[in-house]
Homo-oligomer: A and B are copies of this chain.
């Protein structure tokens, strides 16, 4: 249609993920003609720089989405539930980074390296998966394709930025207080809206999101259910234990898998991962090379290392998977979905 670019809206523009979305749109030189930045009343009026220009953040209302082509939502599930349908009604395609619609069977849940073609059946809303799920399926999908996949057991080491800017501040403030021998009162983690809050600095908290009736947390159930949906494998055995550790950004995962095919060597597994899209194999024991969260910050890739064959089961393998939870885990995957929509002609300039 000859436009210079799309009208993009970012909802939750001042949050930890929203900020990364705006930065990623700029870094990728995504064709933006108009950028509308939206937030709650509390943050409205703030100014954010995009490509050298100051843009004022506005209060998000249904009318905000008039003329918007793509709306990237990351302002919490309640905001998405209220406003995403309004955006769709006004002709926008919503890429939603909350859990509001992920398990809705009318909503594709997309990691472009895994199931880009699910975008074709969208009904206005596309869900961006949970951060810890995304980095895991990027590493598991090439394995599924080559060797088949039967079972996944994951234990996570998750950064506080997954809980937002306030959690980052809380970790820093607590660490300073503890090092200075001063007292402090936990107020945000493990879950801001839950009843009790615990020390995160120099600690590990085995609760991310609220507990479900089956004893798993909602974060654990997200990893289990979203992995099956994204990989189109309702029969896949998946179990997760999700733990918050005192890292600012960068989720790590210790993953045990069993593949269908017998007789796969660790060299074949490493070669496969080395060639897999968006995966960087960091695995050289002589050089003490393996992924670490401190090294992944600001990068779009998924880093995989410590690849080894289980000592008891021929089809068992262990992996260590690390990625920037704000980028591939959130902002970059959302912008990547927007790029796929353009590429597939599902939105047009």
Contacts and interface: CB of A to CB of B under 8 A. Distances in A.
A248 B202 contact: yes
Given A308-B216, A318-B241, A179 B190 contact: no
Contact of A306 (B206, B256, B306): B206
A196 interface: yes
A288 B195 contact: yes
Contacts of A211: 285, 288
A264 interface: no
Interface in A177-217: 179, 190, 194-196, 198-199, 202-207, 211, 214-216
B288 A252 contact: no
A292 interface: yes
A237 interface: yes
A243 interface: yes
A137 interface: no
A51 interface: no
Interface stretch (A42-50, A61-69, A309-317): A309-317
Interface string A90-132: 0000000000000000000000000000000000000000000
Tell me if A's interface is mostly helix, strand, loop or mixed.
mixed
B195 A247 contact: no
Contacts of A335: none
Contacts of A199: 292, 294
Contacts of A18: none
A143 interface: no
Contacts of A252: 204, 206, 243
B246 A157 contact: no
Interface in A279-329: 285, 287-288, 290-294, 305-313, 316, 318, 320
A247 B199 CA distance: 12
B239 A198 contact: no
Interface size class of A (residues with CB under 8 A): 35 or more
A36 interface: no
Contact of A243 (B194, B254, B313): B254
A261 interface: no
Contacts of A231: none
A340 interface: no
B155 A285 contact: no
A308 B215 contact: yes
Interface of A: 151, 153, 155, 157, 171-172, 175-176, 179, 190, 194-196, 198-199, 202-207, 211, 214-216, 224, 237-239, 241, 243, 245-248, 252, 254, 256, 266, 285, 287-288, 290-294, 305-313, 316, 318, 320
11 contacts: A157-B243, A179-B179, A202-B248, A204-B292, A214-B311, A216-B308, A237-B312, A239-B311, A241-B254, A241-B320, A246-B247
Given A215-B266, A216-B308, A245-B246, 15 more contacts: A195-B288, A198-B292, A198-B294, A202-B247, A202-B248, A204-B247, A204-B292, A206-B252, A206-B292, A215-B309, A237-B312, A239-B316, A241-B254, A241-B318, A245-B245
